[in-house]
């Protein structure tokens, strides 16, 4: 923590996690940080007292995106390891992906079964809900996993690049309202007057209806 006016160091605290790409977020006197590989911590800003820390079993690269605070919840996302997937979900994946995941499970690195959003209680870190895993994009993804949710009323919207999907979900329960292709984009969606905007790496910009996901307009460059 540094003085905004002078840059003077005011306090410092070491958290139990690796390098992160997503900055921490704050609500009131509480700061929340997502940490690689699968950590999540909160800190009291005024005293720099650590409030709670927990690991998130089965996820990786959680610190690659900022968490989101909404209605007493802390939302994070990350790619999932094989052991985090249910047998019924694994059975839905293409046979080639199943073989790849099983091969990687016994190697130095796990393969990814997809990407998921999870919610925790901001006050004590208790798990509240998880979305289903969204299957991995067959094209493959290089780079960080991104995945920071934005909030519009009772809906959350998030781009999950490892699955190449834009997801609208209910904040209170995590229930999925609608999904759409993300055009290999990263970063957060933009919501303006009931429209959701995304910009893809393939040159496509789309607007969709916030409530239904219906496509309103698309531009390709």
Q: Which residues contact 145 (CB under 8 A, 6 or more apart)?
A: 60, 61, 64, 65, 77, 78, 79, 115, 160, 161, 162
Long-range Cβ contacts of 166-169 (<8 Å, 24+ apart): 166/196, 166/198, 166/208, 167/117, 167/131, 167/134, 168/196, 168/210, 168/213, 169/117, 169/131
Q: Is the peptide bond before 89 cis (omega within 30 degrees of 0)?
A: no
Residue 83 has pLDDT above 90, yes or no: no
Determine the Cα–Cα distance for residues 179 and 157; give it in Å rounded to an integer: 9
pLDDT of residue 180: 97
Residues paired with 167 in a beta bridge: 158, 179
pLDDT of residue 105: 63
The lowest-confidence range among 82-86, 95-99, 102-106, 107-111 is 107-111
Residue 69 has pLDDT above 70, yes or no: yes
> Which residue is associated with the tokens 């429209």?
195
- pLDDT by residue (tens digit) across 28-61? 999 999 999 899 999 999 999 999 999 998 898 9
pLDDT of residue 104: 64
Q: Is 136 helix (H, G, I), strand (E, B) or coil?
A: coil
Q: Is 158 helix (H, G, I), strand (E, B) or coil?
A: strand
Determine the Cα–Cα distance for residues 47 and 68; give it in Å rounded to an integer: 22
pLDDT of residue 174: 97
Q: What is the DSSP letter of 108?
A: S
Alpha helices in the chain (DSSP H): 87-92, 95-105
Percent of residues, the chain, with pLDDT higher than 90: 69
- pLDDT by residue (tens digit) across 164-204? 999 999 999 999 999 999 999 988 999 999 999 999 999 99
pLDDT of residue 97: 72
* Backbone Cα Rg of the chain: 18
More confident call, 140 vs 162: 162
Closest CA to 52 of 148, 1, 117, 127: 127
More confident call, 145 vs 99: 145
């Amino acid at each position: 923590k540094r003085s905004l006016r002078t840059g003077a160091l005011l306090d410092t605290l070491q958290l139990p996690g690796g390098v992160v790409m997503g900055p921490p977020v704050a609500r009131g006197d509480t700061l929340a940080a997502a940490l690689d590989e699968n950590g999540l911590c909160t800190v009291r800003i005024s005293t720099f007292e650590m409030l709670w820390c927990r690991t998130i079993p089965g996820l990786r690269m959680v610190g690659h995106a900022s968490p989101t605070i909404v209605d007493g919840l802390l939302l994070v996302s990350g790619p999932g390891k094989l052991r985090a997937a249910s047998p019924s979900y694994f059975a839905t994946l293409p046979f080639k992906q199943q073989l790849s995941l099983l091969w990687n499970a016994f190697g130095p690195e796990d393969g990814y079964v997809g990407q998921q959003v999870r919610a925790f209680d901001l006050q004590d870190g208790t798990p509240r809900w998880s979305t289903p895993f969204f299957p991995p994009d067959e094209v493959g993804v290089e780079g960080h996993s991104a995945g920071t949710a934005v909030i519009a009323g009772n809906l959350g919207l998030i781009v999950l690049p490892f699955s190449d999907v834009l997801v609208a979900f209910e904040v209170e329960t995590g229930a999925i309202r609608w999904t759409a292709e993300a055009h290999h984009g990263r970063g957060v969606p933009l919501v303006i007057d009931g429209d959701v905007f995304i910009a893809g790496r393939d040159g496509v910009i789309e607007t969709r209806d916030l409530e239904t996901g219906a496509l309103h307009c698309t531009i390709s460059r």
